[in-house]
Amino acid sequence: MQTVWITGASSGIGEACARRYAAEGARLVLTSSSAARLEPVAQACRAAGAAGVVVLPYDLSRPEGIPELVRAAWAAFDGLDVMYCNAGISQRTTVEDTSPEMLRKIMEINYFSPVAMAQAVLPLMLERGGGHIAVTTSIAGRFGFPLRSAYSSSKFALYGFFETLQAEYYDRGIRVTLVCPGRVRTNISLYALDKGGKPHGQMDPGQAGGISPERAARRIVKAIRRGRREVLVGAGELVMVWIKRFFPGLCARLARRIRPQ
């Protein structure tokens, strides 16, 4: 029986993965910034067959409390097999309209919080003989994407840290899975930061046409179970990752033509 901790668990990919793990009988620790939105997910997971569910709401933009949050998640079921850092926030602003405050907020939630969580959980996992850390990146972390300067930067940075973590601790039983979504029908565009730091409040057309969170969760949970280093999640848009790898100049030209909402 696995014990799995998921952040960003109140909706989208996080909720779908929680339900997927619940159907497999896992014990779950669920985190998001909203206790009110977490509780219905927890109830659904219990009904789906989870062996146990603990709700730990927390605002991941507050780094000072993350070590204690990790200790609470670990103590909930006396250990964690999987820690999935899925919480994140996006933006819809040009470089000129991206304030230093917005840049820092996005980096705090998307990059510094999973890094702090990994550093706090690592000694516990090592003492136990190993563990699995998964983190949601993005195809925007594989190539620059218009109106995503801070978001893309945070996702690029995740690759550097978590690939290094796995290289250093693989032989000591630590596994890392980088979850790289393209277009998935989640609420991330609704809560993305717009000019002035206000919520964007709109579902992007491309995202509205993306794959379902449930389909994404099937691939993610399977990839973590198999110990995959990286899993690409999406549909046709994922071809841009391969174009960037083999034809970076073409990728740059295509990115310049993107007209995102």
Catalytic residue among 111, 151, 170, 191: 151
Q: What is the distance between the alpha carbons of residues 63 and 126, in angstroms, rounded to a whole number?
A: 23
b/e for 232-248, b at 16 or more Cβ within 10 A?
A: bbbeebbebbebbeeee
Q: CA-based diameter of the chain, in Å?
A: 51
Element (H, E) at 180: strand 174-181
CA dihedral 105, 109, 114, 115 (to 10 degrees): 0
Task: Tell me if residue 151 is catalytic.
Answer: yes
Query: Is residue 191 exposed (0-12), middle (13-18) or buried (19+ Cβ within 10 Å)?
Result: middle
Q: Tokens standing for 11?
A: 């909706």
Nearest Cα to 201, choosing from 92, 122, 107, 126? 92
Q: Which residues have a catalytic role annotated? A: 151
